[in-house]
Amino acid sequence: MLLNVVDVEATCWPGRVVPPGQCTEIIEVGLCVVDLAARARAARHRILVRPERSTVSGYCTELTGLTQPEVDQGLSFAEACALLADVHDAGARPWASWGDFDRRQFTEQCSATGVPYPFGACHTNAKQSFAEAYGLSHGPDRPEAFRLAGLSFEGTEHRGVDDAWNAGALVLHLAARGRRFG
């Protein structure tokens, strides 16, 4: 069975205070396809998304490495959602994310823009699953989860494509410990 592991980067500001006239919007979708039967990460994809109601702040660039000119070349949010649904089978495949931010951001942004939600109902909060598997009172951040799992992070933190790839490794680790997805 294939599972989509998704990580988004969104416009952001210092202190999580959204300036007047701005809103939090997805600017990158990282996707790791995990083959649960083969116990392998099968593919990785990056979708840049052009924000339509906000701009990339200097803080956001510092955190994610993404710049306004870079995301200006991205797809519209509607095109990105259609790509997820049509090319990555997002409506039919179960999916997971590290925490609930990604699911909530898609839900809120789809609602605000009238864009059809690209995912099916079968979502797993892998951070919560990790906490349950390790008997923790709360889900650890990714670096702590990697330390506990004995894994090494690959790439750059806060890059959607790398974060999705690494979350895929944590999902496989959980699957090997008997956690079920989908």
Average pLDDT of the chain? Answer: 97
Q: Distances in Å between the alpha carbon of 9 and those of 27, 48, 56, 67, 144?
A: 6, 9, 11, 12, 20
CATH topology assigned to domain 2-176: Nucleotidyltransferase; domain 5 (3.30.420)
- The stretch 17-41 carries a mean pLDDT of 97
Angle at 34 between CA 128 and CA 162, to 5 degrees: 75
Whether 3 shows a pLDDT value over 90: the answer reads: yes
Whether 65 shows a pLDDT value over 90: the answer reads: yes
Phi, psi values for residue 34, rounded to 5°: -110, 125
Q: How confident is the model at residue 19 (pLDDT cuts 50, 70, 90)?
A: very high
* pTM exceeds 0.95: yes
pLDDT of the residue at 182: 81
